[in-house]
Amino acid sequence: MYVIIIGAGEVGRYLGQILVDERQDVAIIEQDEAAARRISDTLDVQVVHGTGVSRTDLRRAGIEHADLLLAVTQIDEVNLVAAMTAERLNPKCRTVARVRNRNYLSGRDALAPGEYGIDMVVGPERAVADQVVSLLHYAGHGQITSIADDRIVLLEFPVQPHSTLAFTGNDDLSASLPTRAVIAAVLGDERLRIAEPADRFQVGEHVFVLCAPGEVNDVLGLMGSELMHVKRVLLIGGGSVGQQVASALERMRFDVTILEKNRERAEQLASVLSRSLVIQADGTDPEDLIERLKEGAEAVVTLVPDDSESLLAAIVAARNGAKKVIARVDNQAYTQLAHSLAVDSLISPRRAIADQILRYVRRSRIVSTTMLGNHQGEIIDFEIDAKSKPHLREQPIGDLKLPKGCMMGVITRSGDFLRPERNPDAKLSAGDHVVVVALREAVAKIEELFS
């Protein structure tokens, strides 16, 4: 597949790295000369110094034979015009535009992408907001992600010296887990591995557990976490992500306070949010933040776009009495540091966008993808339907030849969770979901199997 990416910012670089790792042919168009040079030095891609709204630059990048164009600059209008221009030059090329303005995504003025020749419009704000709401219900470190149309939940736990995980092997822990829960993968020393029965978890590693939504509380209890009742939430940063998070929290009846240092933006937020208190203040200033915490905030969510500022504010909050601290951080290298300094959870708009876009890159019946670690692996949700390969529906799941470096489970239409080793004679039917945990090197083979 030949893919053109417009914009070499955080999202563009990240997607470029993923696609190169998957041996796709990639070209990147970047207007900033220094950024274009950095991409050329670090990625094996064709780099065009130019703009995605220029027909000439699109042709230089090879739009005539491109299969997919991803417009992911910081400017919505550039992305939309670039996608529309690409469609005019090559109607067979699928186009995806990143959009940050929530008005383009919902409400009366929402875009109907098909009317403009755009195949998909993506924005991370809703996905990030949903994740924040989920995380605020649970105490302790870790992540929680719903997959397979909310029929299964992915829990991520760091192994800490005082946790149950640090003293238990996989075989013993698995015997104590709820019926449909399974330890899927382990991340340690920048390497992801599929969990094996003989595994013993080391401090500093991260363990990924799949379970049914109704089993989350039991799994949390087993891992030493618990349900948490939070009412007052302090948001630091009122950008597009912050606004969407505040709106979601308002719907859930949280008491929300937003610290936004830009006066004009603070006034705009105050006019559109009905129940949130908006204060013009720099939430990354330690003294100011500590004063706000004294006023009774139970949970703090840092949403400023700079990773370092976001993480530092989160550390201050964690050290000064916040029950739950969630930080917006795109750089996964900060994960271990964040947890060691009492920051509970990290959220990443960049990863949220990449998860959405990866569905369009795939060739098969993929419902969703969730990346593990820094793209060392993925959880891929395939839906079985009438167009699926006949052998997938005719063979027992215990006979499917899975490549090395992956494990699978099946969520049936009735909601049962089947494992090949426990239910080897079961067969797939239309409407079933196959959830595969795959290391990066196994992803292409898994796609081929289920495409």
Structural domains of the chain ordered from first start: 2-122 (3.40.50.720), 143-222 (3.30.70.1450), 232-351 (3.40.50.720), 360-450 (3.30.70.1450)
Cα Rg of the chain, angstroms: 22
The strand pairing partners of 25, in sequence order, are 2
Long-range contacts from 410-414, C-beta under 8 angstroms, 24+ separation: 410/434, 410/435, 411/148, 411/151, 411/152, 411/435
Task: For the beta carbon of residue 398, count every other beta carbon within 10 angstroms.
Answer: 14
* pLDDT score, position 128: 84
Identify whether the C-beta of residue 339 lies closer than 8 Å to the C-beta of residue 422: no
What is the pLDDT tens value at each position of the chain, 451 positions in all?
899 999 998 889 888 988 888 788 999 999 999 999 999 999 999 999 999 999 999 999 999 999 999 999 989 899 999 999 999 999 999 999 988 776 666 666 666 767 778 888 888 777 788 788 878 876 666 677 888 777 888 888 878 777 777 777 888 888 888 888 889 999 887 689 999 888 888 887 888 999 888 888 788 777 766 656 778 999 999 988 899 899 989 998 899 999 999 999 999 999 999 999 999 999 999 998 998 888 888 899 999 989 999 999 999 999 998 888 999 988 877 877 787 777 888 888 877 887 778 766 765 567 778 888 777 888 888 888 877 888 888 888 988 888 899 999 888 888 788 888 888 899 888 888 899 999 988 888 888 888 7
* pLDDT score, position 139: 62
CA separation for the pair 349, 355 (Å, rounded)? 10
Query: How do beta strands 277-280 and 191-194 pair?
Result: unpaired
CA separation for the pair 323, 311 (Å, rounded)? 16
Identify whether the C-beta of residue 126 lies closer than 8 Å to the C-beta of residue 244: yes
CA separation for the pair 345, 143 (Å, rounded)? 6
* pLDDT score, position 190: 67
Identify whether the C-beta of residue 68 lies closer than 8 Å to the C-beta of residue 93: yes
Tell me the per-residue pLDDT of 70-93, one tens digit each, with 9 for 90 and over: 999 989 899 999 999 999 999 999
Identify whether the C-beta of residue 56 lies closer than 8 Å to the C-beta of residue 29: no
